[in-house]
Amino acid sequence: MLTSPSVNQLEGLAKEALKEGRDETAYQLLGKILQKEPEHVTASYLLSYIAHKYGNYQKEVELLHKIVSNDPDNLLFRAYYARALVLCGDMLMAHQELQTIDVETTETPELVDTVATTYNRLNLYTEACRCYQRLVQLDANSALVWFNLSTCYKYLGEFEKAREALEKSVSIKPYFEKSQAALSLLNTKKNSVDADIPDRISELTGIQEKSKNPEARLHIAHAIAKELESIGDYSKAFSVLAAHKGALRHVMKYDFDYNKVILDKIVARPSYSVAKINHVDNIFVTGMPRTGTTLVDRILSSADNVVSGGELPCFRTSLKKVLGEASTQFITNGCVQELEDNISREVGRLYRSNTSYLNKNGETLIDKLPMNILLADQILKCIDNSVIVCLDRHPLDTIVGNYRQLFSFSDGGFNYSLSLIDTARFYLFFRNLTQRLRKSYPDRFYLLNYENLVRDPEKESKKLFDFCRLTWCSDYLSIEKNSAPVATASSLQVREKIHTNAISQWRRYADHLDEVKHLLQREGIVYE
């Protein structure tokens, strides 16, 4: 007579299956364990691990909540729970969970790393930095830990410390592509000379040739391009990016037309009827990346009673939660779904709850996620007393700036940047969308031109502050004195005074822009 496997045997088989990548088998085995013992901690945790791996963060939350409820003193599971809450958009609950964990008293690197990662996702970089500082005390030989610490230092404006941490990272792991790329992109060495550049490019090329991962190779391509630009070889820098962006696009099998179906619907959708407002509680700063959104965020957040939350995922995650969307992609059908009043009220309630840890004293909150422009209609429908500020920049500077930027491709939102012509096509969508939004929401949608802003900061900022119902002070233009963290590609530039140096940078790459120019001409867009 055959006997069924014991719980211990099932657990061993499940762990073996996970180790071998047989996730479906492991899932079934773990399910059998919970049928026998519903409170089995290891089975619940391993199922949460599988849920996390496949992006089912709500299921991960459910499983970890049960574990934490039964074993509240297990800080590692509590840290995993906080991480899962963030990924579901439950930022406030995640923040509350983290407050119960003292990383200074633990000797468990995994716990400290999970807490640090979660603070990062909450845009609390000072707290994340303290965690990574603790982590290098526990594990000083991890290149990844030093890289993560350097990122926090950069966001906090401590660029020399960031460079030192990156150099420590590459000394441990010379072929760590992210650290090598970050070192070139940071470029804080005051004593570097042009003679050093060929050796650095040769070093990077050797690292790139050894890498088999197309995305890692693209990281190095951005570093090589940065070094080439530092000696004025802009055309070659552009060619290096084109080769490796094209290779990654081919591997990803990305097709702009797949997203274009939804993007066209966003432009064509009917606008909501929204109320006029007398005061502003929430400012959403949007636009295509590299168009001055961080600059505007720094000016606005210099004002009294205004706080910047940075680039927050909260509106998108709140919307997805209420709509029941499971996709981890940014561009989904939720971008065009019509919202009934009860749905929009719940989305607004969730958003305000999940961002309340950032504006505890009732300040006006800035949410500076550029791609929120795709959700502009829903934002104005759901968030009472909110306005949207959208940056508009010269077409070719916008297109070239996005193409030259090193983005994450995890949620698909920036996949267009793997092709220069796709970037131009995305710009055309963006332009058409902003024209509709400006007409539809004149009291709550403000289109701000970047070139006008940097040429006459006081005049344009006064108009911006009037639109946002804020009191103006000329001191707010001293953005170099704003010490708040900056977690964007502009983290170096916005530590400087406002300047016009970035205007017409596209001309450096003019030899590569003929196809883009023809596309703009066909659409009647002036670019000279």
pLDDT digits (tens, 9 = 90+) for 233-250: 999 999 999 999 999 999
Quote the tokens at residue 397: 């500077």
What local confidence, expressed as pLDDT, does residue 327 receive?
87
Residue pLDDT, tens place only, 395-450: 999 999 999 999 999 999 999 999 999 999 999 999 999 999 999 999 999 999 99
Amino acid at 243: A
Residues of the chain with pLDDT below 50 are 188-191
Beta bridge pairs of residue 286:
390
Amino acid at 299: I
What local confidence, expressed as pLDDT, does residue 328 receive?
87
268-305 per-residue burial string, b: 16 or more CB within 10 A, e: under 16 = eeeeeebeeeeebbbbbbbbbbbbbbbbbbbbbbbbee
CATH of domain 280-522: 3.40.50.300
What local confidence, expressed as pLDDT, does residue 485 receive?
76
Q: What three-state secondary structure class fits 524? A: coil
Beta bridge pairs of residue 388:
284, 445
H or E segment to which residue 448 belongs: strand 445-449
What local confidence, expressed as pLDDT, does residue 221 receive?
97
Rounded to the nearest angstrom, the gap between the alpha carbon of residue 479 and the centroid of all alpha carbons in its chain is: 22
Instruction: Tell which residue, 219, 251, 227, 224, has the closest CA to residue 240.
Output: 224
| Distances, alpha carbon 62 to alpha carbons 81, 83, 108, 292, in Å | 9, 13, 24, 40
At residue 445, φ and ψ (nearest 5 deg) are -130, 120
CATH 1.25.40.10 in the chain, residue ranges: 143-253
Beta bridge pairs of residue 389:
285, 446
Residue pLDDT, tens place only, 346-386: 999 999 999 999 999 999 999 999 999 999 999 999 999 99
Instruction: Tell which residue, 113, 39, 128, 51, has the closest CA to residue 76.
Output: 113
Beta bridge pairs of residue 283:
366, 387
CATH 3.40.50.300 in the chain, residue ranges: 280-522
Instruction: Tell which residue, 131, 137, 172, 176, has the closest CA to residue 149.
Output: 131
Q: How does DSSP classify residue 385?
A: T
Instruction: Tell which residue, 487, 286, 453, 296, has the closest CA to residue 386.
Output: 286
Quote the tokens at residue 528: 């000279």
Quote the tokens at residue 281: 């509680």
Distance separating alpha carbons of residues 377 and 233, to the nearest angstrom: 43
Q: How does DSSP classify residue 281?
A: S
| Distances, alpha carbon 165 to alpha carbons 42, 84, 138, 220, in Å | 36, 28, 15, 18
At residue 213, φ and ψ (nearest 5 deg) are -95, 120
Do 460 and 260 meet the contact criterion of CB atoms below 8 Å apart?
no
What local confidence, expressed as pLDDT, does residue 489 receive?
60
List all residues 6 or more positions away from 500 whose beta carbon is below 8 Å from its beta carbon. Answer: 451, 454, 455
CA atoms 476, 479, 481, 485: torsion sign: positive
Task: Calculate the dihedral angle through the C-alpha atoms of 362, 358, 333, 408, rounding to the nearest 10 degrees.
Answer: 150
What local confidence, expressed as pLDDT, does residue 486 receive?
76
The CA angle 408-241-395, to the nearest 5 degrees, is 80
What local confidence, expressed as pLDDT, does residue 194 receive?
67
What local confidence, expressed as pLDDT, does residue 191 receive?
43
* Sheet order of strands, 445-449 included: 306-308, 364-367, 282-286, 386-392, 445-449
Quote the tokens at residue 230: 């530092």
Topology of domain 143-253, per CATH? 1.25.40
Do 351 and 318 meet the contact criterion of CB atoms below 8 Å apart?
yes
pTM: 0.92
Rounded to the nearest angstrom, the gap between the alpha carbon of residue 54 and the centroid of all alpha carbons in its chain is: 19
